[in-house]
Amino acid sequence: MARFFGTPDGVKVGDLFVDRRELHDAHVHRPTQAGISGAKQEGADSIVVSGGYVDDRDYGDYIIYTGHGGRDPGATKQTKNQSVDAPGNAGLITSQVEGLPVRVVRGAHRSNPYAPPSGYQYAGLFLVTDWWIEEGAEGLEIVRFRLDRIPEQAHLWTEEEPVLDPAFATSTISRRIRDTQLSREVKALYEHHCQICQSSIPGISDRYYSEGAHVRPLGRPHLGADALNNLLCLCPNHHTQLDIGGMVILNDLTVAKTSDLTPFAELTFRKDHKLDIANAQYHRSQWGFA
């Protein structure tokens, strides 16, 4: 099946699994051995935290996770530097760049108070909020990732309460992630170029960042559709400007500042992608414009 980002149907935070096969069959974590399910082009959809690397640190609501690689087959210790190009590591970096949620599974580990007493437990969705390279405990380079649990999920009962990290800005993970498959499709269609300013934001290697913007917002009371005719590929600045009413889309598909309704750009479209004008009209009505 295609790589899926989010919680699978029928699975709840706190669910227990006997082994990796059960995780695979429930579509929680597909690999039966690897700790990271991911690839550079798609991103990483899930990881398992089970004490396999001495540098891992689990604080409950955030995790400092060691990437994979650097070990010879069958070895228990690192023998060479880890690489950012290893598939799982590259996938987690892509997930940070694109804001993709990662399923976190904890395996039983006696020194981790957040792990289950046996088997595996689904801990919910996390975001990759940072990554870096440093020297690990075994004297070789490791790729490390910080993952923060997305708010507004069911509470996970553990042996200890999660450690608070007030030094880390909560706003980093407070924006709700709605990166659906259609959102990823529209970003790929425009190769991460903003439909308003044509800019793209480069990241490491050949990765680029953009955002899928719903013109008529999803959820109540707006009930916008998660459909291509309600989606635009925008840079973060223009996405935010759209969301907070700093600009509106006119019926001729020009974009105007709400301060004077003077058009300053024209939306560009590729292939068969079109915006339903009714969605633009609804967005304008939110800010008092017909």
Same-domain pairing of 20 and 90: yes
Percent of the chain with pLDDT over 70: 93
- Cβ neighbours for 210, distance < 8 A, ≥ 6 positions apart: 187, 190, 192, 193, 194, 200, 201, 233, 234, 235
What is the span of the domain harbouring residue 194? 181-286
Same-domain pairing of 21 and 162: yes
Percent of the chain with pLDDT over 90: 61
Please check the confidence at residue 1 and state whether its pLDDT lies above 70: no
Please check the confidence at residue 201 and state whether its pLDDT lies above 80: yes
Question: What pLDDT sits at residue 43?
Answer: 94
Dihedral sign computed on CA atoms, order 72, 77, 80, 84: positive
Is 2 part of any domain? Answer: no
Same-domain pairing of 93 and 191: no
> What pLDDT, in 10s, does the model give residues 66-92?
998 887 877 778 889 999 999 999 999
Q: How many domains does the chain have?
A: 2
Question: What pLDDT sits at residue 170?
Answer: 44
Is 73 part of any domain? Answer: yes
Domain final residue, candidates 129, 148, 174: 174
Please check the confidence at residue 101 and state whether its pLDDT lies above 90: yes
Same-domain pairing of 170 and 225: no
Same-domain pairing of 29 and 148: yes
Same-domain pairing of 186 and 108: no
DSSP state of 163: P
CA atoms in the 13 A half-sphere facing the CB of 109? 19
Mean pLDDT of all residues in 103-115: 92
Is 214 part of any domain? Answer: yes
**pTM of the entire structure?**
0.71
Mean pLDDT of all residues in 137-144: 89
Please check the confidence at residue 178 and state whether its pLDDT lies above 70: no
What are the φ and ψ backbone dihedral angles of 181, each rounded to 5 degrees?
A: -60, -40
Same-domain pairing of 116 and 255: no
Is 11 part of any domain? Answer: no
Band of pLDDT at residue 53, cut at 50, 70 and 90: confident
Same-domain pairing of 81 and 133: yes
Same-domain pairing of 165 and 252: no
DSSP state of 177: P
Same-domain pairing of 153 and 241: no
187, containing H or E segment: helix 181-189
Instruction: Tally DSSP H helices, then E strands, for the chain.
Output: 6, 15
More confident residue, 27 or 176: 27
Mean pLDDT of all residues in 99-113: 91
Same-domain pairing of 168 and 135: yes
Question: What pLDDT sits at residue 172?
Answer: 44
Pairing of strands 101-107, 43-49: parallel
Q: Where residue 59 sits, what CATH number does that domain have?
A: 2.30.280.10
More confident residue, 181 or 241: 241
Q: What share of the chain is helix, strand, coil (3-state, %, to 5)?
A: 20, 25, 55
Q: Calculate the alpha carbon distances from 233 to 178, 247, 286 in Å.
A: 13, 15, 21
Question: What pLDDT sits at residue 125?
Answer: 95
Domain final residue, candidates 127, 158, 174: 174
Please check the confidence at residue 176 and state whether its pLDDT lies above 80: no
